[in-house]
Homo-oligomer: A and B are copies of this chain.
Amino acid sequence: MAKRGMLIVLSGPSGVGKGTVRKEIFSQEGNKFDYSISMTTREKRPGEVDGKDYYFVTKEEFENEIANGGMLEYAQYVDNYYGTPLKYVNEMLDSGKDVFLEIEVKGAMQVRKKCPDGLFIFLTPPDLMELRQRLINRGTDDIAKINKRMKTAVEEIEMMQNYDYAVVNDEVPRAAEKIKTIIRAERWRVKRFLPDYKKQLGDALK
């Protein structure tokens, strides 16, 4: 039996640019992991392809999947469901392939509970440190509004604690390269490397 693949989860606050970074990663050759396509009930937009951008399903089909325990994670945004079908992910992992998910933070926390051994990467905005100064300099927001934005920033950073790695999305190619470096390095973590290595040694001892 093949060594089970690694589940890679890229997440981060809404608007941080997860999709753009993910597309940058998958526009490059030589990745040793596959992208898990999400399922959604929202309307297909012009140019989108079923089974490539999303699996487009009806609300009833999605709710059936949920009822049958067929979703690894899901969430509702603006009356539509978004989620990751479990079947495809499991098939890939079982065949030894690493699987890459790009999902919202709520979904990521559902996955963390089910797959604690996954690799969780948090994409974080570059401007948190400069945010306040920029907001003040701009002079359009009052101090209450600035403080509210800073509070949201703090909450976002707190979420980071549930992840293994954090990458600042200052430039998309740079963030993509860092994420690929993390995925490479993570394969040599002893907890991932040792079981397989021991198994091979076990075979050698026979």
Contacts and interface: CB of A to CB of B under 8 A. Distances in A.
Chain A interface size, under 10 / 10 to 19 / 20 to 34 / 35 or more = 35 or more
Contacts of A130: 204
Interface in A151-168: 153-154, 157, 160-161, 163-167
A182 B178 contact: no
Given A165-B185, A181-B185, A185-B165, A153 B190 contact: no
A88 interface: no
Count identical subunits in the complex. 2
A129 interface: yes
A contact face: mostly helix, strand, loop, or mixed: helix
Contacts of A193: 160, 165-166
Interface in A101-159: 122, 124, 128-133, 150, 153-154, 157
Contacts of A131: 204
A156 to B, nearest CB: 10
A201 interface: yes
A188 interface: yes
A181 B179 CA distance: 11
Nearest to A185: B185
Interface of A: 122, 124, 128-133, 150, 153-154, 157, 160-161, 163-167, 178, 181-182, 184-186, 188-190, 193-194, 197-198, 200-201, 203-205
11 contacts: A124-B197, A128-B204, A129-B200, A157-B197, A160-B197, A161-B190, A161-B194, A165-B185, A165-B188, A165-B190, A181-B181
